[in-house]
Homo-oligomer: A and B are copies of this chain.
Amino acid sequence: MSDMKDIAKQNAIPLPTIRRYPIYLRAIKAKIAGGELHVSSAVLAEELGFDPVLSRKDLAMAGVPGKPRCGYPAKELSEAINRALGWDNPIEAALIGVGSLGCALLGYSGFEEQNLSISAAFDADPAIVGQRVHGVKVRPMEDLPRLISKLKLAIGIITVPSSAAQSCADQLIAAGIKAIWNFAPIQLSVPKGVTVQNVDLAQSLAVLSHSITISG
């Protein structure tokens, strides 16, 4: 396990490649399911609409040797990508903010492929604390530090209103969390070594609604 980590560190796979890996992974898995034993970066690039030079570099970074004309062994490549993504081991996440979006994420069962489960939920509102939402008991914020360490939670998911998001991030970081998935529409300020990914549905909706406005 720590060898794997060292390899990943040495390779230093760039983030844009990491963001594309889930897309390759699905395509490779579909080919494996279809009985194919080898995949080529050129074929995947064509299928996925990527630049073939880019795809060649992306897949080479997974560290699996490919064969000329034959391509990569499909299963090994998919396992290497899965490992680079950290999806080969279960990941447990804590969710803060059991409002409408928080409930939706707790009920969303689409994270199996990524080996992610949201195993603890927290809320500041005493009226919500103690309830069960999609099988997960909502805990008070005071329990956060203890449960993050006890349950070895690795990712903090923030689904609170903007005004509370920074304070939640601070509490997660103080409790040892190094990866934050932020659904609140603000820029969090975090120390070096903490990774934040923002999902702002309003931003992609903006592009769509604007396009309707300008089209006749």
A binding-site residues for B, Cβ under 8 Å = 4-5, 8-9, 13, 15, 18-23, 26, 48-49, 83-87, 91, 100-101, 103-105, 107-111, 113-114, 116, 154-155, 162, 178-181, 185-187, 193, 195, 197-216
Contact = CB atoms under 8 A, between A and B. Distances in A.
Contacts of A185: 22-23, 26
A200 B116 contact: no
Contacts of A83: 213
Nearest to A179: B208
Q: Which secondary structure dominates chain A's binding surface? A: helix
B203 A84 contact: no
Contacts of A205: 22, 111, 114, 116, 181, 197
A22 to B, nearest CB: 4
Contacts of A198: 204
A101 B91 contact: no
Contact of A215 (B100, B193, B201): B193
A199 B197 contact: no
